[in-house]
Amino acid sequence: MEKIRLGIIGVGNMGSGHLQNVIDGKCPKVEVTAVADINPQKLVNAQKKQPSLTCFDNAEQMLDSGLIDAALIAVPHYSHPDYAIACFRRGIHVMTEKPAGVYAGQVRKMNEAAEQAGVKFGIMFNQRTNPLFKRAREIVQSGALGEPKRLVWIVTNWYRTQAYYNSGSWRATWNGEGGGVLLNQAPHNLDLWQWIFGMPKKIRGFCAAGKYHNIDVEDDVTIYGEYENGATATFITTTGEAPGTNRLEISGDLGKLVLENGKLKWWKLAVPEREFCFSSKEGFLCPDTAYEEYAQEAPDGHSVILENFAEAILDGAALIADGREGLNSLSISNAAYLSAWTDDWAEIPTDEKLFEQYLAELCRKETGKKNPSENFDTAETVNERWKVRWN
Amino acid sequence: MEKIRLGIIGVGNMGSGHLQNVIDGKCPKVEVTAVADINPQKLVNAQKKQPSLTCFDNAEQMLDSGLIDAALIAVPHYSHPDYAIACFRRGIHVMTEKPAGVYAGQVRKMNEAAEQAGVKFGIMFNQRTNPLFKRAREIVQSGALGEPKRLVWIVTNWYRTQAYYNSGSWRATWNGEGGGVLLNQAPHNLDLWQWIFGMPKKIRGFCAAGKYHNIDVEDDVTIYGEYENGATATFITTTGEAPGTNRLEISGDLGKLVLENGKLKWWKLAVPEREFCFSSKEGFLCPDTAYEEYAQEAPDGHSVILENFAEAILDGAALIADGREGLNSLSISNAAYLSAWTDDWAEIPTDEKLFEQYLAELCRKETGKKNPSENFDTAETVNERWKVRWN
């Protein structure tokens, strides 16, 4: 079988997790031929897993080596755009970890470069492979839920201890990561929000920095969004609550969806609510509803996304998460930050310049509250950790 | 057995529902001796139910008649304060329907008058008698949930059709009711929010007027609140979604409560989250939790509240919902309006003057979108309609 030759930029926790998935045969159309990392120990560890690997202490050398058709970028977010653009300039396809970048302007430029190069650009939004979210999207996007009215997502089960934040000096800093829970944990949910329900036109964000941890970035967020058609969205996330909740509710003119506890629950109205509202002679009655439930085991999303990326390169398959869509989730988080920083509404698309000014100021002012200690080696648990969890 | 002699001011739907409860023997310590209404047909209907009633077409005459010790006020909200103060001046105890008034200043004055008169002043917050809310309050207020972190209440099952709004010209108007879902349906939930979780210090309110109905007032609301200790609250309500949701989630340093589907679910942490966060050597682990569930049939809240009012008068029992607490729920809704009107934060207590200015302006501008038709007679269903519903 034909395979793509993949180089991994950054074989820390995520990168070596992806390497392991390929070694384990989960991505038959992918062969990892090379890895690059500035940390020699990580190269040693990677080569132990797969002795045939060619190792580079410099990513550019790997890109120029002729050994790879495609690169998987798994370094801290700030560096995603530079490496991606370096790949695109060389005609190398790119799969990047989420978020695609730290601010929308970066991702816009990545997309322009990918388009110019005519190569594939995918994002590791592995949670899109979850059957419940796929089904929810079909229901909403097909119109089966009717005109959208409201989305409410309580996703507070991204719990992290202080030890997590201490593991790696880049984590949870403005300079190293460019944000907190909105940039590191919640991008999956922000992406699913827009993928299923579409993009809001304006946002009010409430972001509390260092509320539950000794960090400079936010670890508790509430976002309120409004849509062109009047629909609203509320999104609540934190790394500081235990046990957390993961419950997504979407309502429309034809009923309601609730995703929780590994189930999609669907209430379907016999007649559209808007029609019922103005035709009923009764004051307190609701339209009749039918109920349906859906559950299905989720595949290992990381390997599905990577294999799909290979299929896109080899056979022209459609990407599950195209790079262009990386802009959307980032636009929501950028708008939430900007709203919190200005204590005002933020329109979407956000004012990129203003956003970058504020971010630069936060980077300058960063106090470095954390107490960095040893890195964790958590590569073995990345599949588990980044899959959809319902409790 | 000793009984209080009760006069009902307003025997429309709510008032005659209360009368029926007493007739049905649900309030053994209450005897309804008189009723007052400006609509002669309603007096005829009341007297049909109970021939011994003395009927008045003027409430003041009833208050001066010597026939009553206490009054139950069940007229549109704007008139609650005037009638209540008229009672207090005569030494008559008062039970008022919710909301106690339309704006906080009114309720402040009601409380002052009640205190001066030394009589009882209670509010018909019947949902406080629901065992799940009582239990949730005990858990939170006793500290068993630890330092409060977050409240999220999705209570979107207050569905109403346009026919409901058309039934009675005062309904859902600034001039007749002083607001929409926040003033008519949600006061119960706003009261339970503050009763269980305490009062926020500032509010951001998003109120959409006439979004789902031909009315001038709001029928879709999202409120975000912040507390002195950093806790947050999100409250979502509407009369325009079907089927709606009623799900209250409260988290604290020692775990989480969820009230939904007629159950209280309680997750209890073995160690406080704050302690675990800073002592764990692991990055991704959560503290261990134990789980407990609680369910109990709710009594008929209206009659429990009314009987408790009689016991307060006769035996000095503590009121389940004291008039002083009517100020709290109204402060939250007033702040939500003020925030929406000014597109800014509203502190609590709210700026009473500013609030009254805006409200007066809305009253002046009212367009009268509705098309009033026949009144409903829904007195027989008031107990059912105003009890806690979970779906």
Q: Residue B373: pLDDT above 90?
A: no
Is residue B117 pLDDT above 80, yes or no?
A: yes
Question: How far is it, in rounded angstroms, from Cα B73 to Cα B386?
Answer: 16
**Taking 90 as the threshold, does the pLDDT of residue B1 lie above it?**
no
Q: Report pLDDT for B374.
A: 58
Q: Which of B149, B164, B273 sits opposite A284 (nearest CB)?
A: B164
pLDDT of res. B372: 66
Task: Write down the pLDDT at residue A380.
Answer: 73
Q: A14: which strand partners? A: none
3-class secondary structure per residue, B10-28: CCCHHHHHHHHHHHCCCCC
**Of chain B residues 143-162, which have a CB less than 8 A from chain A?**
149-150, 152, 154, 156, 159-162
Partner-chain contact A242 B283, CB within 8 Å: no
Test B243 with A167 for CB contact under 8 angstroms.
no
What 3-state class would DSSP assign to A144?
Answer: coil
Q: For residue A372, what pLDDT is reported?
A: 66
Q: Tell me the nearest-neighbour CA distance from B245 into chain A, angstroms.
A: 9
Structure tokens at A255: 């009923």
Quick check: B320 pLDDT over 70?
A: yes
Q: What is the pLDDT of residue B367?
A: 83
pLDDT digits (tens, 9 = 90+) for B258-276: 999 999 999 999 999 999 9
The ipTM assigned to this model is 0.95
Share of chain B above pLDDT 70, in %: 98
A245·B255 Cβ contact <8 A = no
What sign does the dihedral A377-A381-A387-A391 (CA atoms) show?
negative
Say what the pTM is.
0.96
Residue among B164, B230, B277 minimizing CB distance to A283: B164
Which A residues 267-306 touch B at CB under 8 Å? 267, 269, 273-274, 276-278, 280-287, 289
Task: Please state the rounded mean pLDDT for residues B220-241.
Answer: 98
Residue-level pLDDT, tens digit, chain A, 391 residues: 699 999 999 999 899 999 999 999 999 999 999 999 999 999 999 999 999 999 999 999 999 999 999 999 999 889 999 999 999 999 999 999 999 999 889 999 999 999 999 999 999 999 999 999 999 999 999 999 999 999 999 999 999 999 999 988 889 999 999 999 999 999 999 999 999 999 999 999 999 999 999 999 999 999 999 999 999 999 999 999 999 999 999 999 999 999 999 999 999 999 999 999 999 998 888 999 999 999 999 999 999 999 999 999 999 999 999 999 899 999 999 999 999 999 999 999 999 999 999 999 999 999 877 766 656 667 777 778 888 888 8
Query: What is the percent of chain B with per-residue pLDDT over 90, rounded to a whole number?
Result: 88
Query: Which residue among A150, A160, A385 sits closest to B241, beta carbon to beta carbon?
Result: A150
Over residues B193-212, the pLDDT tens digits come to 999 999 999 999 999 999 99
Closest Cβ opposite residue B241 in set A220, A242, A251: A251
Residue A71's CB is within 10 A of a number of other CB atoms, namely: 26
Split at pLDDT 50, 70, 90, the class of B112 is: very high
Query: Taking the alpha carbons of A302, A308, A313, A318 in that order, is the dihedral positive or negative?
Result: negative
From the list B150, B154, B286, the residue facing A249 with the nearest CB is B154
Cβ contact A286–B152 (<8 Å): no
The pLDDT value recorded for residue B55 is 98
Peptide bond before residue B99 is cis, with ω within 30 degrees of 0: yes
Nearest CA in chain B to A152: B154
How distant is the Cα of A387 from the closest Cα of chain B, in angstroms? Answer: 14
Nearest to A127 by CA among A180, A189, A197, A198: A189
**Inter-chain touch B241–A273, beta carbons under 8 Å:** yes
Mean pLDDT of chain B: 95
Q: Which of residues 224-263 of B touch A (CB under 8 A)?
A: 224, 226, 230, 232, 234, 236, 238, 240-245, 249, 251, 255-256, 258
- Backbone torsions φ then ψ of A197, nearest 5 degrees: -115, -10
The model's confidence at residue B375, banded by pLDDT at 50, 70 and 90, is: low
pLDDT of residue A374: 58
Residue A256 distance to chain B (closest CA, Å): 7
- Give the pLDDT confidence of B281-306 residue by residue, as tens digits: 988 889 999 999 999 999 999 999 99
